[in-house]
Chains A and B, each alone.
Chain A
Amino acid sequence: MKGEPFLILLVEDDPAHAEIVRRNLEDFRVANRIVHVADGQAALDYLFHEGPFRDSPHPLPGIVLLDLRLPRVDGLEVLKRIKAAPLLAPIPVVILTTSAAESDMAMAYEAKANSYLVKPIDLTTFTGLLEAFGYYWLAWNQYPNDR
């Protein structure tokens, strides 16, 4: 194992949905710490150490779980800004949204999303999805050492 497990940045405006993600990952005993922000601007401020996070010494997240429909700055814009910044671009961004719209998926992949997940409407499926997410991105997926 290499040091501390990386941070998960959860960008989610619906507190209930954030709670679902948090509970599931806790139930799987995921060691990664979750940082939750509720809108696109807060996510950018966190990632770019700006605004309220200017003087915060926090490390960059190892993965971003990003909702698309967000107040202030929407998810697609956050995604584009991440992928346009050399330091942030390698961070996998997993879209987690209620929208199953073809156009949203196309735009997200166009903007270099690493994965696109649609929120299921029942607990069992939601749990299954987050379990798979945890195994894949947090346990199996390999990342370079310097993270």
Chain B
Amino acid sequence: MEIMPEPSEWPAIMAARGRILETAQGGTLTQVLRATLDELEGLTGSCIGFFHFLETDQKTLTLQAWSTRTEREFCHAVGHGAHYGLDEAGVWADAVRTGRPVLHNDYASLPLRKGMPEGHAEVVREMVVPILRGRRITAILGLGNKPTPYGDRDLRVVCTLADLAWDIAQTKRMLAERQAIEDALREQEFFFRESQRAAAIGSYKTDFRLGRWQSSAVLDQLFGIGEAYERTVANWLAIVHPEDREMMAAYLTTDVIGRRQPFAKEYRILRGDGETRWVNGLGEVTFDADGAPLSLTGTIQDITERRLRDQELQRKNEEMERFTFMVSHDLKGPLVTVRTFLGYLEQDLEEGRAERVARDLGFIRDAAGRMGRLLEDLLEVSRVGRVVNPPVQVSYLDLAQAAVASLAGAIALRGAEVRVEAAEVLLTGDRPRLEELWQNLLENSVKYLGDQAAPVIELGVEQAAGKVFYVRDNGIGIDPRFQGRIFGLFDQLDPASEGTGLGLALVRRIVELYDGRIWVESEGPGRGTCFRFTLPAALKHPQRGAPS
């Protein structure tokens, strides 16, 4: 259907068209449609204007726009985006049903007219034109309530501008859809990238025919490789930690490719910067019809922190087990002694064996004393980290000198020379706890001086490598085989020595409380011992006067 305006009608139509196109520059779809309706209201003298899209099912009408005036003055019944089934729609939808423009100049007398919804504009006269593309109706545009009947001129003007409005609407709609798809893609890509980063999960795809793999940015970061890295299967193995390399090569060829199992393995990598990381590799292989591997696609996640936590947990569990062992032995042992020698005591008293009575009592006294010390030390160890004194600033020198003072008797008795390095290092922390740390280490040194003729104990701090404190002696030393054991609960290497074996466990707990590390260096029996430790958290000082 082609309805051409009369030449005299062109100037007004062209002017309106110009204004509509102006609105289309940067305006929204609704704004363009509204501008069209407003222009047509002006050109036809109508008081109502509406624009509906007909959905592709050709059955549903969706309101796209009212004219400015309709919205303001007449219609409050329905809003933008409202849907009508064609079956329920009134005579105004006849343009869809017939595929031709419809003019109702006496609306009130129409027999098939349906009632108006509450708040809907009162309609006295209307004209509705279908907008066709090919043989399909894509939208309808309606005008109403012209004071005089609608005629052919109105029809010509409306059809011309309605077509223009549709073309603009169509372009706008397509642009908007494309934009939405692009936005959604960009969003997905963003989420994918960010979740890879957040979970430290990199992804890869290996093409076995080319013998090469591709990797995501996160994986490159995890592997510590750049763009230029040659991504061959051999070079993946080159990143795998040397100790895991053989195992991983066998795993890939035998299990994953040979037995067609999904790739699922935790292994270590050794990066170019010398750092070892634990990763969890997951993936699946595809095969061609002949059973040759085509590709391996999957993810690799950095699980180093988790592995460290697992190891820490395992260490704690082991310590807990040792604790149980201790309860069943170190506490039960003295109890066996007390009860058994009480039995002997009774017998020996009855039989009047005085010299045995004294021995019995001695064993009982020693065992009871040992139980008491064990309980005290246990409480002390459990108190570290649980009972915390308010942090104060204290110098390393004060702590070292306090330790020397508290052990002055034992030091003098052994004839040991103690040298304290006069360094200025300020620590912030729980002072009694820090005192205990130096005291226990010094006590340990004094205790294990052995038969050294000129015993010397040195306390100091190495300033170079981030403040490493040390307590060094020239005593009996520690067999390298036992150096790993000494910080455990109740690990006492020398049966003849006094004490419960808890001293160094306590020391380690205090060091760990300050995020530090303690280790022992000794070249072996008779070669002296040096304890070194760090206290990073105690070296951080709160800013004075800073707002809290």
Q: What is the interface of chain A, defined by CB distance below 8 A to chain B?
A: 13-17, 19-20, 23, 38-39, 68-72, 97-101, 119-124, 126-127
Contacts and interface: CB of A to CB of B under 8 A. Distances in A.
Contacts of B339: 121-123
B493 A99 contact: no
Interface in B107-145: none
A97 B329 contact: yes
A127 B341 CA distance: 12
Which of B325, B336, B366 has the most A CB atoms < 10 Å from its CB? Answer: B336
B329 A99 contact: yes
A15 B492 CA distance: 16
B495 A13 contact: yes
A4 to B, nearest CB: 29
Contact of B363 (A16, A121, A122): A16
B496 A38 contact: yes
B494 A98 contact: no
B343 A122 contact: yes
B7 to A, nearest CB: 107
A23 B494 CA distance: 25
B495 A98 contact: no
A100 B333 CA distance: 12
B329 A16 contact: no
Nearest to B326: A69
Nearest to B367: A16
Nearest to A103: B321
B495 A39 contact: yes
22 contacts: A13-B495, A14-B337, A16-B363, A16-B366, A17-B337, A20-B340, A39-B495, A68-B329, A71-B494, A72-B482, A72-B493, A98-B328, A98-B329, A98-B332, A98-B333, A99-B325, A119-B336, A120-B336, A122-B340, A122-B343, A123-B343, A126-B343
Interface in B342-376: 342-344, 359, 363, 366-367
Contacts of A15: 363
Given A120-B336, A124-B343, A71 B493 contact: yes
A16 B3 CA distance: 121
Given A16-B363, A16-B367, A17-B333, A123 B340 contact: yes
Contacts of A97: 329
Given A98-B332, A121-B339, A69 B495 contact: no
Nearest 9 pairs of A and B residues by beta carbon: A123-B343, A16-B337, A71-B495, A98-B332, A16-B363, A123-B340, A13-B495, A69-B329, A98-B329
A123 B328 contact: no
Contacts of B330: 69
Contacts of B363: 15-16, 19
A71 to B, nearest CB: 4
B477 to A, nearest CB: 14
Interface of B: 324-325, 328-330, 332-337, 339-344, 359, 363, 366-367, 482, 492-496
Contacts of B366: 16
A17 B492 CA distance: 18
B344 A23 contact: yes
B484 to A, nearest CB: 14
Given A98-B332, A98-B333, A99-B325, A16 B341 contact: yes
B344 A98 contact: no
A101 B328 contact: yes
Nearest to A99: B328
A123 B344 contact: yes
Contacts of A121: 332, 335-336, 339-340
Contacts of A71: 492-495
Nearest to B501: A71
A69 B324 CA distance: 13
Contact of A38 (B324, B341, B359, B495): B495
Contacts of A101: 324-325, 328
A53 B380 CA distance: 40
B336 A126 contact: yes
Contacts of A98: 328-329, 332-333, 336
A35 B372 CA distance: 31
B494 to A, nearest CB: 6
Contact of B340 (A69, A99, A126): A126
Given A23-B344, A121-B339, A123-B340, A14 B496 contact: no
Nearest to A39: B495
A19 to B, nearest CB: 7
Contacts of B341: 16, 20, 123
A99 B328 CA distance: 6
A15 B337 CA distance: 9
A99 B336 CA distance: 12
A20 to B, nearest CB: 5
A124 B343 CA distance: 8
Contacts of A13: 495
A101 B322 CA distance: 12
Contacts of A68: 329
B495 A17 contact: no
Contacts of B333: 14, 17, 98, 119
Nearest to B366: A16
A119 B339 CA distance: 12
Contacts of B332: 98-99, 119, 121
A123 B341 CA distance: 7
A120 B333 CA distance: 10
A50 B478 CA distance: 19
A123 B337 CA distance: 9
A68 B334 CA distance: 16
A126 B333 CA distance: 13
A119 B325 CA distance: 15
B325 A69 contact: yes
A17 B328 contact: no
Which of B324, B330, B341, B495 has the most A CB atoms < 10 Å from its CB? Answer: B495
A15 B343 CA distance: 17
A72 B494 CA distance: 7
A119 to B, nearest CB: 5
Nearest to B494: A71
A20 B493 CA distance: 24
A70 B325 CA distance: 12
A73 B274 CA distance: 37
